[in-house]
């Protein structure tokens, strides 16, 4: 089965780091967010992935060279919304397709998620559903989709994982959305296309996805780093390491306190510093600093 992963966005909420890194390639817990997304997909038998690329697309293409599989990269040349992005990767077939957003990591069995004969939406109960796309469910079926509605009728937020039993029907719905120029927040939204499908008689079930990790904003990346981190590092006799800590290859750590909840990527030099609950990007040189709750880079920029 094919999976579509949109990774075209600029990642403005992760500036300035996304000026140099495609947002899904920012690291946490020792590897990129994209690796955390892909590994369970591959474990479930999905070996065809269509990436919708845009900003820093070459980085995604280069990153995927380390994997075996059928990968394609389609550029979204205009940023017209998530619905438009997904459309660029769709074909007129009757085959099922999985769509996963590129800023969410799921801890689930994808083969179970894709067992249904109907369309399935990953959902999670949230405290403030007005910040999300949401669904209204009756008798186990979705009857309405909403995109960041100020007063949604339920707290079931769409978590960013979708299974469609017919790729061609999804394609037709998004094409109809664009033909009718239906926009929300001046963009073609996937929720509006799904609402068209519901009105046309398509059935949608929901699948709880409580154990997922958002990597779209700095505080969410740091939270996910804390949850996913597994200690991995060599000894640094002149420094104090407070687990859990990941330290990559070719790093020099001297007279510093590192941890807890710290990821330091490859080729970093850290001297006389205290780093806690943070991610240090590769090739960073940090001296005489205290970094707590930050993503920090080699040029001294932080987010």
Contact 226, 210 (CB under 8 A): no
Task: Please report which confidence band the pLDDT of residue 86 belongs to, taking 50, 70 and 90 as the band edges.
Answer: very high
CA-CA distances (angstroms) from residue 219 to 13, 15, 213, 224, 289? 10, 13, 11, 9, 20
The percentage of the chain sitting over the pLDDT mark of 70, rounded to a whole number, equals: 98
**Res. 302: pLDDT tops 80:** no
Distance CA 292, CA 219 (A): 12
Beta strands 27-28; 2-7: pairing state:
unpaired
The count of residues in the chain is 303
Which has the higher per-residue pLDDT, 172 or 107?
A: 172
Contact 206, 135 (CB under 8 A): yes
**Res. 1: pLDDT tops 90:** no
Q: What is the mean pLDDT of the chain?
A: 93
Which residue in the block uniquely carries the two structure tokens 């640094």? Answer: 236
HSE at residue 17, side-chain half, CA atoms within 13 A, is: 26
- Name which of 75-89, 155-169, 237-251, 289-303 the model is least confident about: 289-303
The pLDDT of residue 11 is 85
Average of pLDDT values for 105-123?
90
Which has the higher per-residue pLDDT, 126 or 32?
A: 32
Average of pLDDT values for 61-69?
94
Handedness of CA 30, 32, 37, 38 (dihedral sign): negative
Q: Does residue 251 sit in helix, strand or coil?
A: coil
Q: Does residue 24 sit in helix, strand or coil?
A: helix
Contact 205, 116 (CB under 8 A): yes
Average of pLDDT values for 56-71?
95
């Amino acid at each position: 089965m094919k999976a579509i992963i949109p990774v075209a966005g600029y990642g403005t909420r992760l500036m300035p780091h996304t000026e140099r890194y495609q947002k899904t390639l920012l690291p946490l817990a020792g590897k990129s967010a994209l690796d955390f997304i892909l590994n369970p997909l591959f474990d479930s038998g999905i070996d065809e992935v269509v990436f919708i690329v845009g900003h820093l697309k070459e980085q995604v293409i280069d990153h995927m060279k380390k994997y075996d599989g059928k990968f394609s990269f389609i550029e979204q040349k205009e940023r017209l919304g998530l619905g438009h992005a997904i459309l660029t990767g769709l074909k007129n077939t009757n085959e099922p397709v999985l769509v996963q957003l590129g800023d969410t990591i799921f801890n689930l069995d994808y083969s179970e998620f894709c067992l249904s004969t109907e369309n399935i939406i990953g959902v999670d109960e949230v405290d403030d559903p007005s910040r999300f796309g949401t669904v209204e469910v009756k008798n186990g079926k979705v009857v309405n989709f909403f995109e960041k509605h100020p007063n949604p009728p339920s707290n079931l937020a769409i978590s960013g994982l979708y299974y469609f039993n017919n790729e061609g029907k999804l394609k037709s719905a998004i094409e109809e959305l664009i033909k009718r120029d239906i926009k929300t927040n001046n963009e073609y939204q996937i929720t509006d296309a799904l609402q068209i499908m519901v009105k046309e008689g398509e059935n949608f079930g929901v699948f709880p996805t409580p154990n997922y990790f958002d990597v779209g904003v700095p505080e969410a990346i740091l939270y996910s780093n804390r949850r996913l981190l597994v200690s991995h590092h060599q000894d640094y006799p002149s420094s104090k390491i407070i687990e859990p800590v990941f330290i990559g290859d070719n790093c020099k750590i001297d007279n510093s306190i590192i941890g807890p909840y710290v990821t330091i990527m490859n080729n970093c030099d850290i001297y006389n510093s205290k780093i806690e609950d943070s991610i240090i990007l590769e090739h960073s040189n940090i001296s005489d600093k205290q970094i707590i709750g930050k993503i920090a880079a080699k040029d001294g920029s932080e987010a």
